[in-house]
Chain A
Amino acid sequence: MTKKPKKVKKPFDYPILLTIIILVAFGTIMVFSASFYYAQMRWGDKYYFFKRQCLWAVVGFVAMAFTANLDYWRLKKFSKLLLVLSIALLVAVLLVGIERNNAKRWLNIGGLSVQPSEIAKFALVLFLADNMSQRKDKMKYFFKGIIPYFLVTGILFGLIMMQPNMSTAGSLVLLVMVMLFVAGARLWHLGLLVAGGAAAAAALIMAAEYRMDRWIAFWDPWKDPLETGYQIIQSLYSLGAGGLFGMGLGESRQKYLYIPYPETDFIFAIIGEELGFVGCTLLILLFVILIWRGLKIAITAPDLFGCLLAAGIIGMIGIQAVINIAVVTASMPPTGLPLPFISFGGSSLAIFMASIGVLLNISKYAKAS
């Protein structure tokens, strides 16, 4: 089955590579700017986060170089294995994970803390791309075509929800939807799922008090400015203080412990504060370029597997970027998803970069479109 398609090797899609290099470099600088004060206060080392981010960026570039030169169809072989492995890791994290902020999300692997859910995301993309490309004709059917993928995703979703980490779990659901959409599922099937998903999300929000609080805080953050509304208010202060051109690189005031997680979930707010609307717009533009080039690779992919794989990778990045920026701008209830390539978070960065490597590899075999 997995025959090597007839392909002519072309150079990489350099715009993507360039975009990623810019994003990672910029992200690393912003991680330092946003984190040095907290790092100094918490760890007595203002480079604490910066050093780690640099290290992971190097790991990420190595991983990217590796996957960019690994013919993507070879990944098919590992699709099931990787899925099983990530399920195992997700179970492990529930048992022996490191607990931070009331959630078990991290595994300590050789001194590095890794989020198995990040691996699971990529595993799911790979599995879905492989499986959907083989069962192309089934996509029209709701029970035969769509439900099985939701069952697989459901396992991951359930395990991640137990950490708990609703945002990552939720992003997996969106990811499946995007891939089903690209794979050719009927739109009314998807509409049905969206309605069901919305109902489920509402149920989940109401089931946990902290999620309910966030929901209320989203609608009126000033109702409880020091508790539930605090994050949203501080994020808005940050952006508001930036204005058009920002206060200048390194000049954020909000990062002085006013805004929580300035180096991860709310790094976009710090960027807005230091570089203003201009900086924010340019960053969003970079993401749009990335998505455009990425989807172009998907369109020109030589086979459906490559197409779906590229679409899944880009979908994963796009969904996360949208959610992160939407949270920071108080456009949706606060939830903790890092901004791809920018936020501090080692395993996430490395895995995203490895995925980009896969994307670059697919681009080498692009057909003329």
Chain B
Amino acid sequence: MNAETLSLRLQESFGTLAEITVTGPRRLICKIASDQLKSVVTRLRKEFHFTHLSTISALDLTDRFEILYHFADSELCLTVRTEISRETPEISTITSIIPGAILYERELQDLFGIKIKDIPDNRPLLLPDDWKEGNYPLRKDWTFQMPLETIPGDDHSEK
């Protein structure tokens, strides 16, 4: 079925819980509140057969985080969007419904500092073991200054 028909069926089924928009020939966006995440994902999986989660992206809009779950089936791509606050960034896990989401959620915890509730595996995914706490590289306010290159043994007081 094409994107328009599916968007009408989804809107009918979810009612006020979700806002469905069609953004391209095979692309749909479904905007929900963050506490509805688990129930929406369960229904998408059981009733609409969106079993494949491609990835989870996160955006840092300066006053809040926006998390996108990219689902796909054999015909189109559905993105579930939800927003969480920046002061207490928390969202629940979906690994009980989709076990393959574990690495993507660990990446969110690592690089953005978003806390995922009830995650089965809490370890950081990508950053090194001696990374300082509280440093979240993909946030917009985290910048990195390359240290000035110096030649060892040179007398730098002249510069």
- A and B found bound together: no
Q: Which residues of A contact B (CB under 8 A)?
A: none
Q: Which residues of B contact A (CB under 8 A)?
A: none
